[in-house]
C-alpha cells in the first residue's frame, strides 16, 4: 500500500480523479474542474511556504494574498531562502525580480559596482511623479542634481535657515497644538500631526511657503493630501504586472486615476510658488543678498547658484517635489514609530528625559535649550532614533536595475536589465547583522563602552541608503527629529489610546496603517 503523502500516491489520486470526472462531465466543466483541482493541489502543497510558484501565474499570488502584510511576507521569504530569491512573475509578464537582504550584495550594488546599477526604466515609469529629480535620475543627470544640491546644503546661511525654520515651527505651531489637545482632553492622531508639521517645514525650506497644514482641527490641504494618496498607489505598481497598471492608467481606473489627479494638484502648487520665487529674484536689486530677501528658500539658493534665467521651471519643479517627498515622509514616518516605541518602552523614555535634564542648559521656567549645539550631546536620544530607523526604515524597499550582466557576492548571476529589490525593512530584522535580539527595540546596541555612538556601515544600517546615493539630508533629518522629539518629551507625556491596531501601511513609505492615536498630559519635571 502506498504511503498517503508519497508523490506516487498523490499522482495516482490526480489521475483517478481526472478519469472519473471525464465520465460524468462535459469538456467545459472538466476544464474548470481540472483548473480548480490544480490550484487547490498547489495550494495544499505550498500553503506553509512563503514563496510558491503557480502554473501560469508564477509567484504573483503570494504577494497579492499577503499584500496587507507585504513587508513581513518579504522578510519571511528572504529568511527562508538565505537572504536571496528570484521572484518569478506570470508567464510573458517580464516580471522577474531578484530580491535580497544580504548586506554584501547591497554593498556591491550601492558602492562596489555602483556604476552598473541605476534606477532603470521600471523605476522611472513607476515614479513618474518625481520627474527628472535626484531620486529618479541616473548617470550625468543624477550627478548634476547631486552636485547642485550638495552645494546648496553646504551653505552655512542655508543650514542656519533650516534650523531656524524647524525651531520656529515647533514653538509657534507644534507645542501650541499639543497644549490645546491637553487642555481640551482630545484624542490626537500623532502620525497625521507629524505629516502636517513636516510638510509645513519642508515647504517653507524648499519653497519659502508655509501651507499651515498643522493647526487645530486639521484643515484639509489639497497638496498634502495628494502626497499621501500618490504614495499608497505607487506600491501597487510594484505588485502588478507592468502591462496591467499601464492599462489601468490608460483608462484612468482605480488608483491610477487618483495618481493623475493628485499629480495635477501638486504641480499646480509647485509652479505657482516657483514663479513667485522667480519674480522675487527678478525684482532683487543688484546689491541685495539672499539674506535680505523677505522670503528665503532652496529655490532661491538654486536660482542664485546657477543664475537668473538659466534654470527652467521644470528643473525647479522636479527638484522641489523630490525634496518635499523626502522631507515630509521620512521624518514623519520615523517620528511616528519612535513615539510608539518609546511609549511602549518606559525605561527608554526615562533615560531620554534624564539625558535632557543633565546635558541641556536650562531656560526660563521649566524650559531647556534645544539648539543644535546642545542636541548633539544627546547620545541616548540619537541611539533611540537610530534603533527606530533600523526596525522601521521610512523607505522599506529600494530597487535598482543592472545595466550589464553581473555576479553578486552571494554567487547569483544577474542578467542585464534585471530588477533588483533590496529590503531595508528585512535587513533591520536580520539576525546575521544585528544578532538574535534583532526584533527587540534596544537603543543600547548603538552605544559604545566609552559612551559614544557606534558606527554601523551604511550597507548594514541602510535607512539613509549607501554608497554615492547616500542621503544628502541625513544630518538635517537627525537634527529635525531630535528637535521635535526632545521638545515633545520634555513638555508632554504621550499616552497611547488602548485597543488600536499598530501595523505598517501598504505604501512606498513605512507609515502606520491606522495612524497613532494618543492623548497628552502636561509634564511637570
pLDDT, tens digit, 9 for 90 and up, residues 62-87: 887 888 899 999 999 999 999 999 99
Q: What does the pLDDT average to over 93-104?
A: 90
Lowest-confidence segment of 302-316, 336-350, 415-429, 510-524 by average pLDDT? 302-316
**pLDDT given for residue 17 in this prediction:** 52
**pLDDT given for residue 278 in this prediction:** 67
Phi, psi angle pair for 88, to nearest 5°: -110, 120
Phi, psi angle pair for 493, to nearest 5°: -95, 135
Helix-, strand-, coil-residue percentages of the chain, each rounded to 5: 60, 10, 35
% the chain with pLDDT above 70:
86
Q: Per the structure block, which three cell numbers stand in for 173?
A: 505651531
Residue 60: pLDDT band with limits 50, 70, 90:
confident
Q: What does the pLDDT average to over 321-328?
A: 92
**39 or 302: which carries more pLDDT confidence?**
302
Q: What is the pLDDT of residues 335-361, one digit of tens each?
A: 999 999 999 999 999 999 999 999 999
CB 255 within 8 A of CB 232: yes
Q: Per the structure block, which three cell numbers stand in for 37?
A: 483541482
**pLDDT given for residue 346 in this prediction:** 97
Q: What stretches of 310-345 show up as alpha helix (H) in DSSP?
A: 313-343
**pLDDT given for residue 287 in this prediction:** 44
Residue 416: pLDDT band with limits 50, 70, 90:
very high
**pLDDT given for residue 286 in this prediction:** 43
Q: What does the pLDDT average to over 464-468?
A: 95
Residue 293: pLDDT band with limits 50, 70, 90:
very low
Q: Per the structure block, which three cell numbers stand in for 349?
A: 523614555
**152 or 285: which carries more pLDDT confidence?**
152
Q: Position of cell 526615562?
A: 350
- Asked if residue 58 has pLDDT above 90, the reply is no
Q: What stretches of 208-312 show up as alpha helix (H) in DSSP?
A: 222-239, 242-251, 254-283, 298-306
CB 125 within 8 A of CB 275: no
Residue 309 three-state SS: coil
First-last CA distance in the chain:
77
Distance CA 177, CA 249 (A): 40
Could you tell me if residue 215 is left (phi over 0), alpha (psi between -120 and 50 degrees) or otherwise beta? beta
Q: What does the pLDDT average to over 146-161?
A: 93
Identify the top-confidence range among 35-49, 156-170, 222-236: 156-170
Q: What does the pLDDT average to over 473-491?
A: 96
Q: What angle do CA 261, 266, 268 make, to 5 degrees?
A: 95
Find the farthest-apart pair of alpha carbons in the chain and give their distance in angstroms, rounded. Answer: 98
| Count of beta carbons in the 10 Å neighbourhood of residue 94 | 12
**What does the DSSP 8-state code read for residue 414?**
E
- Asked if residue 28 has pLDDT above 70, the reply is no
Q: Per the structure block, which three cell numbers stand in for 78?
A: 528572504
CB 465 within 8 A of CB 471: yes
Distance CA 159, CA 139 (A): 28
**pLDDT given for residue 365 in this prediction:** 72
**pLDDT given for residue 12 in this prediction:** 54
Sign of the dihedral defined by the CA atoms of residues 125, 129, 133, 134, in that order: negative
- Asked if residue 141 has pLDDT above 60, the reply is yes
**171 or 14: which carries more pLDDT confidence?**
171
Distance CA 374, CA 388 (A): 22
Distance CA 147, CA 480 (A): 23
**pLDDT given for residue 294 in this prediction:** 47
What is the CA 220 to chain-centroid distance, rounded? 23
Phi, psi angle pair for 216, to nearest 5°: -60, 130
CB 82 within 8 A of CB 431: no
Residue 34: pLDDT band with limits 50, 70, 90:
low
**pLDDT given for residue 65 in this prediction:** 81
- Asked if residue 525 has pLDDT above 90, the reply is no
**What does the DSSP 8-state code read for residue 362?**
B
What are the residues whose beta carbons fall under 8 Å from the beta carbon of 5, sequence distance 6 or more? none
**pLDDT given for residue 304 in this prediction:** 83
Distance CA 260, CA 255 (A): 9
**509 or 54: which carries more pLDDT confidence?**
509
| Average pLDDT of every residue of the chain | 87
**pLDDT given for residue 281 in this prediction:** 57
pTM as predicted? 0.86
Q: Position of cell 539672499?
A: 290
Q: Per the structure block, which three cell numbers stand in for 330?
A: 521620512
**pLDDT given for residue 309 in this prediction:** 61
Distance CA 172, CA 197 (A): 11
**294 or 306: which carries more pLDDT confidence?**
306
- Asked if residue 23 has pLDDT above 70, the reply is no
Q: What DSSP line would sit under 56-113, residue for residue?
A: TTBTTHHHHHTGGGHHHHHHHHHHHTTTEEEE--STTS---EEEE--HHHHHIIIIIT
Amino acid at each position: 500500500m502506498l504511503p498517503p503523502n508519497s508523490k506516487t500516491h498523490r499522482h495516482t489520486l490526480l489521475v483517478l480523479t481526472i478519469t472519473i470526472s471525464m465520465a460524468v462531465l462535459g469538456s467545459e466543466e472538466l476544464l474548470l474542474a481540472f483548473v480548480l483541482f490544480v490550484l487547490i493541489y498547489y495550494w495544499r502543497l505550498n500553503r506553509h511556504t512563503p514563496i510558491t510558484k503557480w502554473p501560469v501565474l508564477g509567484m504573483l499570488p503570494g504577494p497579492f494574498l499577503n499584500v496587507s502584510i507585504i513587508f513581513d511576507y518579504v522578510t519571511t521569504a528572504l529568511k527562508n531562502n538565505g537572504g536571496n530569491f528570484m521572484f518569478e512573475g506570470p508567464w510573458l509578464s517580464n516580471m522577474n525580480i531578484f530580491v535580497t537582504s544580504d548586506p554584501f550584495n547591497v554593498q556591491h550594488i550601492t558602492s562596489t559596482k555602483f556604476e552598473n546599477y541605476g534606477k532603470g526604466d521600471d523605476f522611472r515609469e513607476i515614479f513618474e511623479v518625481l520627474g527628472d529629480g535626484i531620486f529618479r535620475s541616473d548617470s550625468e543627470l543624477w550627478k548634476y542634481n547631486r552636485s547642485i544640491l550638495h552645494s546648496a546644503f553646504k551653505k552655512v546661511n542655508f543650514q542656519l535657515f533650516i534650523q531656524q525654520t524647524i525651531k520656529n515651527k515647533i514653538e509657534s505651531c507644534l507645542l501650541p497644538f499639543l497644549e490645546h489637545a491637553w487642555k481640551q482632553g482630545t484624542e490626537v492622531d500623532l502620525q497625521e500631526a507629524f505629516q502636517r508639521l513636516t510638510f509645513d517645514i519642508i515647504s517653507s525650506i524648499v519653497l519659502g511657503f508655509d501651507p499651515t497644514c498643522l493647526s487645530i482641527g486639521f484643515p484639509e490641504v489639497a497638496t498634502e493630501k495628494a502626497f499621501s494618496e500618490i504614495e499608497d498607489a505607487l506600491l501597487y505598481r510594484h505588485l502588478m504586472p507592468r502591462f496591467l497598471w499601464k492599462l489601468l492608467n490608460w483608462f484612468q481606473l482605480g488608483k491610477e486615476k487618483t495618481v493623475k489627479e493628485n499629480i495635477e494638484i501638486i504641480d499646480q502648487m509647485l509652479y505657482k510658488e516657483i514663479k513667485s520665487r522667480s519674480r522675487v529674484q527678478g525684482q532683487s536689486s543688484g546689491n541685495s543678498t539672499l539674506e535680505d530677501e523677505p522670503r528665503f528658500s532652496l529655490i532661491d539658493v538654486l536660482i542664485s547658484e546657477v543664475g537668473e534665467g538659466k534654470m527652467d521651471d521644470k528643473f525647479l519643479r522636479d527638484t522641489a517635489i523630490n525634496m518635499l517627498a523626502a522631507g515630509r515622509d521620512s521624518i514623519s514616518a520615523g517620528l511616528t514609530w519612535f513615539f510608539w516605541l518609546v511609549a511602549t518602552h518606559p525605561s527608554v523614555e526615562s533615560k531620554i528625559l534624564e539625558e535632557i535634564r543633565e546635558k541641556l542648559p536650562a531656560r526660563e521656567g521649566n524650559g531647556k535649550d534645544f539648539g543644535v549645539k546642545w542636541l548633539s550631546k544627546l547620545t541616548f536620544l540619537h541611539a533611540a532614533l537610530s534603533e527606530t530607523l533600523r526596525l522601521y526604515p521610512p523607505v522599506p524597499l529600494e530597487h535598482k536595475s543592472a545595466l550589464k550582466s553581473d555576479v553578486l557576492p552571494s554567487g547569483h548571476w544577474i542578467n542585464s536589465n534585471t530588477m533588483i529589490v533590496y529590503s531595508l525593512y528585512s535587513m533591520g530584522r536580520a539576525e546575521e547583522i544585528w544578532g538574535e535580539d534583532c526584533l527587540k527595540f534596544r537603543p543600547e546596541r548603538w552605544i559604545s563602552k566609552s559612551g559614544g555612538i557606534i558606527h554601523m556601515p551604511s550597507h548594514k544600517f541602510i535607512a539613509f541608503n549607501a554608497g554615492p546615493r547616500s542621503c544628502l539630508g541625513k544630518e538635517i533629518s537627525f537634527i529635525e527629529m531630535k528637535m521635535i522629539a526632545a521638545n515633545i518629551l520634555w513638555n508632554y507625556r504621550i499616552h497611547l489610546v488602548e485597543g488600536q491596531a499598530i501595523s505598517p501601511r501598504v505604501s512606498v513609505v513605512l507609515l502606520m496603517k491606522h495612524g497613532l492615536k494618543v492623548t497628552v498630559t502636561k509634564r511637570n519635571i
